[in-house]
Amino acid sequence: MQTIYNLILEQGINFEHDELYVEYKIEVPAGVHVNDENNEGCTHTSLAKSVEGNDIAIFSYNFSVQLLMDTKVTDDFFWPRILVKVNAEDLWGRYYIDGYGFTMLPQSPGRHTVTIPCWKPLDPLNKRAALFNYFVSQSIDIDHLKLGELLTQSKRVSRIGLATETSGDLKLNISCILQAKNFIPRDLLRQMTYNSAIKRAGLHSNLHWKIMKVLIEFEKAKSQFIETRNRFEPNSDFNTGTNHK
């Protein structure tokens, strides 16, 4: 089965900092193959603005992913998911991670609006980390995990055991297309065959090919005639007083 996703990282809502950009990664299990190189990437930087009491950073970042899934399902199979990491940088060059998050990609075809609630690691008892975070840069990060892929045990993702706090929401628009031969009814497949199309037109297969052969020969003769006419153009003299001998 082939699954096509067209994703739009639409906007970030109510994150702590203003200049935001998002890193993303499409995580797939064994037996699922990604057809292109868009399974991970990064958006441009967007400046958040206040809209009706909410700080909104608009990305409208569009990318597509094509997945090929095997028919056999293993025990460690999980549905593909997107992992996100919201980054920020202020005017002083200080770097922050404003949130991690993930969500399963839609399993049904159509257009879906998805909101990912994001969180970030927290160490409330470390005063040194708080001072470092305020004056220099963020000191607390998940250095042994990539893009919020937390404590992955087979098909499950969790942040149990980490001190975290909510940070903001990331809104996505996802369009899903599912393609598989099994989705086509058998009677429709029979109608799509060549012989069935000839029968619906009321033609015998031999008669059809004879007609096609005549049309092809006619097109060849027409092309040769046009080529010959363009090659030998007659000389015309509009001066009637001149005679050619």
- Whether pLDDT at 188 is above 80: no
Give the pLDDT of residue 114. 96
**What DSSP designation does 235 have?**
P
Domain containing 41: what range? Answer: 2-182
200: its two tokens: 């619906």
Do 111 and 198 fall into the same domain? no
Residues forming beta bridges with residue 42, ordered by sequence position: 23
CATH number of the domain that residue 130 is part of:
2.60.40.150
Q: Are 58 and 46 in contact (CB under 8 A)?
A: yes
- Whether pLDDT at 116 is above 60: yes
Do 39 and 151 fall into the same domain? yes
Do 70 and 157 fall into the same domain? yes
| Ranges of H-type helices in the chain | 127-135, 186-191, 194-200, 205-231
Do 225 and 130 fall into the same domain? no
When mean pLDDT is compared over 28-32, 127-131, 142-146, 190-194, the highest value belongs to: 28-32
Last-in-domain residue among 165, 182, 199: 182
Do 151 and 86 fall into the same domain? yes
Distance from C-alpha of 114 to C-alpha of 243, rounded to nearest angstrom:
87
Do 103 and 197 fall into the same domain? no
Last-in-domain residue among 154, 182, 210: 182
Tens-place pLDDT, residues 89-111: 888 778 888 899 999 999 899 99
Do 39 and 150 fall into the same domain? yes
Last-in-domain residue among 142, 159, 182: 182
Residue 180: count of CB within 10 angstroms of its CB: 11
- Whether pLDDT at 238 is above 50: no
pTM of the model: 0.65
Do 160 and 217 fall into the same domain? no
Please check whether residue 236 lies inside any domain of the structure: no
Please check whether residue 237 lies inside any domain of the structure: no
Do 98 and 55 fall into the same domain? yes
- Kindly indicate the confidence band of residue 226, based on its pLDDT and cuts at 50, 70 and 90: confident
- Whether pLDDT at 176 is above 80: yes
- Whether pLDDT at 7 is above 90: yes
Please check whether residue 128 lies inside any domain of the structure: yes
- Kindly indicate the confidence band of residue 228, based on its pLDDT and cuts at 50, 70 and 90: confident
Please check whether residue 199 lies inside any domain of the structure: yes
Residue 27: closest CA among 133, 114, 103: 103
Residues 198-214 have a mean pLDDT of 65
- Whether pLDDT at 10 is above 70: yes
User: How many structural domains compose the chain?
Assistant: 2
Please check whether residue 72 lies inside any domain of the structure: yes
pLDDT: which is higher, 154 or 208:
208
- Whether pLDDT at 191 is above 50: yes
Please check whether residue 239 lies inside any domain of the structure: no
Please check whether residue 240 lies inside any domain of the structure: no
Do 206 and 141 fall into the same domain? no
Do 174 and 196 fall into the same domain? no
- Kindly indicate the confidence band of residue 22, based on its pLDDT and cuts at 50, 70 and 90: very high
Do 191 and 155 fall into the same domain? no
